Amino acid sequence: MKADLSVKIGKLHLNNPVMVASGTFGYAEEFRDFLDLRKLGAVVTKTITLNPRQGNLPARTCETPAGMLNSIGLENPGLDVFLRDKLPFLKKLGIPIIISIASEEGPGEFVALAKRLDKVRDIAAMELNISCPNIINSPQSTVHSPQDKTRNYRLSLPAGQAGSIDYRLIAQDPRATYEVVKRVRAVTRKTIITKLSPNVTDITEIARSAERAGSDAVSLINTLTGMSIDVEKRKPKIASITAGLSGPAIRPVAVRMVWEVYQKIKIPIIGMGGIIDAASALEFFLAGATAIGVGTANFINPAATTEIIAGIKQYLHKNKIGGMKEVIGALQV
């Protein structure tokens, strides 16, 4: 029996359900010597903003037990450079290209990005990164009030000054999530995937808001907020103090959240968070994910994605399963 690994997400038809998570695979060209990129179900690019971003100051990464912290700060060349220098390679791959987009200036930037990208035929879908915890304003920047819930903001302190850090993400508020997705939906016919944050009380509430606003799918989870301290120096190991935790350490949380969201929405889920092999990928499918994104594993094993695809095929063959539809949400409780 030949297993059918194909899945559908919005208007996207994927030959298999394995894609790479944004921010862990660059713009794909960086991995061209390590695996056959055409075997991927889709490529999700590093997040793009309207204008170039230098990202956060170093140190920006550190290893943690069964994972890593990162605070890259969405470093990217901006939309114009992406379209000119990065997209030509991507479109030659012959697989769906999903561009991850984020905003520095509220929902208007999401709309501006979506309007321009809607006209680019070679881009199959957009992932709305409304959940990155690592965007930091400079000390001179205006910090928006908590009432302005459609902006990402974080209060950053001058070096060496003690104090608290406050931040709010679009994905931490159901109303703000709804408004952003609704406004993007109004300007594009392309598939919209909304990336959700685990740093909330009830992720299903946010997922339902994205669905009501017209999102074709949701992806979860983005990184958990964490921190690590150098006990000898008595200083944070990451310059921004807090950062995003990823890797196998967060997988049980991610699987639980995928399972919870699956009970509440009808649109597809792209599951991610600590997937390193076929077995960990299958946990997400059984919990309700239609597709999965491989992230931190790419840094350890650049060929992890293709190995996972092969492992899923073996699982389906071994269990005499005809296709992914029989696996998705098949958890027996």
Dist. CA 258–CA 179, nearest whole Å: 23
Active site residue 132: yes
Q: What is each CA distance from 13 to 8, 57, 187, in whole angstroms?
A: 5, 39, 22
Dist. CA 182–CA 263, nearest whole Å: 23
Spatial contact of 223 and 157, defined as CB atoms under 8 Å apart: no
Identify residue 185 by its one-letter amino acid code. R
Dist. CA 93–CA 266, nearest whole Å: 31
Dist. CA 186–CA 208, nearest whole Å: 18
**Which of 132, 196, 213, 278 is labelled catalytic?**
132
Spatial contact of 307 and 280, defined as CB atoms under 8 Å apart: no
Peptide bond connecting 221 to the previous residue in cis, omega within 30 degrees of 0: yes
Spatial contact of 317 and 1, defined as CB atoms under 8 Å apart: yes
Please, which contacts does 319-323 make with residues 24 or more away whose CB atoms are closer than 8 Å? 320/1, 321/3, 322/1, 322/3, 322/4, 323/3, 323/4, 323/5, 323/6
- Residue 315's CB is within 10 A of a number of other CB atoms, namely 17
Measuring CA to CA, which residue among 305, 293, 324, 220 is closest to residue 262? 220
Which amino acids are annotated catalytic? 132
